[in-house]
Structure formats: C-alpha cells, structure tokens
Structure 1
C-alpha cells in the first residue's frame, strides 16, 4: 500500500516508541508502536486484534500517564499497520465546509 499520499512531512522514529490506542468510550485498548508521525497523522503497528478499529475513531495515548494524546480517525489499514489522521478543530471545520458545499452538478 502506498503511504506517500501524506499531507505533512513525517518524522521516522529511530527506535520503537510504544503507545496505546483507546476507544473513545474506553471499552477497549490496544498496544501499538509508532512508526512515524507528523502534525496531521501517524503510522502505527498494532498489537493484537484489529477488529476494534472498525470503530474508525479512537484516542492515541502517547504517554503512559495519558496526558499526551490525540483523537484519531483510521485512514488506511494494511496488515498490522494502520494510518491515522489526527482529528482537530481545524479538520472538523474543513469537513463541515466541504459538506455545506452543493454538488458540482448543482452549480451548472
């Protein structure tokens, strides 16, 4: 799978950086390894069952205390690797603006 369609430059980590995925409602957790990261998203290698990612949105805990985290949305899944986009107020505004625009056919 092509991982080069990224919006922001990614930083490759030289060592295994452990992190944790947690359901938005707290019903599940999965350990993962951060492969690379940028301002807008990350690529992760996930331990265990990927079935829980059907929820599509979850939190990525970057510290063991849970004080550093990002809300994420699943963008792609390839084997045990997942690409996620960080959900921010800016991404929510952009999505809202796109959904408010009429379809191109309606403009003719």
Structure 2
C-alpha cells in the first residue's frame, strides 16, 4: 500500500486515552491515539461511530480541554480512524469558498 503521508509519525506502543467531541458538543467518543504527526493522527475506538457526523470535530488532548485539535475525517477502517488536523488558515479558506455565489 502506497504511503500518502506528508510528514513522519510518532507511534505510541499502547496508545493514549483521548476523546473526540462534536463541534457543537452534542456527542463524544472515547478513543486511543496510536500515532501522530504534524498533519494528523491514527485513532482506535471501542464504541461504534455509527450515526455520528464526522465532517469536523475536536480531538481533546487533555482531560481539562485546554489542549485540543480541530479535525476532519480522513478515513475509517473498522475500529480505526485516520484524522487530518485542520489549521486555522484552512478553516478560513473553506468558509470563504462555501459562501461563494
């Protein structure tokens, strides 16, 4: 399988407990982060992701919520999900293009 990753990843042996949360706070799911790079991460889930809107969401990196990344779904395969970190300049350009007439 060809690698599409632009930056190298740091892998974690057992994973670290995290959670993803809807942008509006309407849902969350516990997960483990298995690896991370500057651009994204690999997450492992125990609970189903069925029925969730995964266009954009937060990955909470701390239990207090002070450290987080805004993400979008890259892919799902079984209980694993690849996410792409959204940078602030990407949000501004995507909003501008979505409001174009």
TM-score interval, smaller chain: 0.7 to 0.9
Cα gap change, 1:95 to 1:26, in 2 (>3 Å): closer
- Segments of 4+ in structure 1 off by > 4 A? 93-96
Give the TM-score of the pair, scaled to structure 1.
Answer: 0.78
The structure with the greater share of residues assigned to helix is 1
Partner of 1:89: 88
Distance between the aligned counterparts of 2:7 and 2:92, measured in 1?
A: 18
Distance between the aligned counterparts of 2:2 and 2:48, measured in 1?
A: 22
Structure 2: runs of 5 or more not aligned = none
Residue deviations 1:44-87 (CA, integer Å, cap 9, x gap) = 00221112443321000011111110000001010010000001
Partner of 2:73: 74
Give the TM-score of the pair, scaled to structure 2.
Answer: 0.83
Distance between the aligned counterparts of 1:18 and 1:7, measured in 2?
A: 25
Aligned length: 97
Cα gap change, 1:57 to 1:13, in 2 (>3 Å): same
Structure 1: runs of 5 or more not aligned = 100-108
Larger Rg: 1
Distance between the aligned counterparts of 2:76 and 2:69, measured in 1?
A: 18
CA-based RMSD of the aligned residues comes to: 2.2
Distance between the aligned counterparts of 2:94 and 2:79, measured in 1?
A: 28
Distance between the aligned counterparts of 2:86 and 2:2, measured in 1?
A: 19
Distance between the aligned counterparts of 1:94 and 1:27, measured in 2?
A: 25
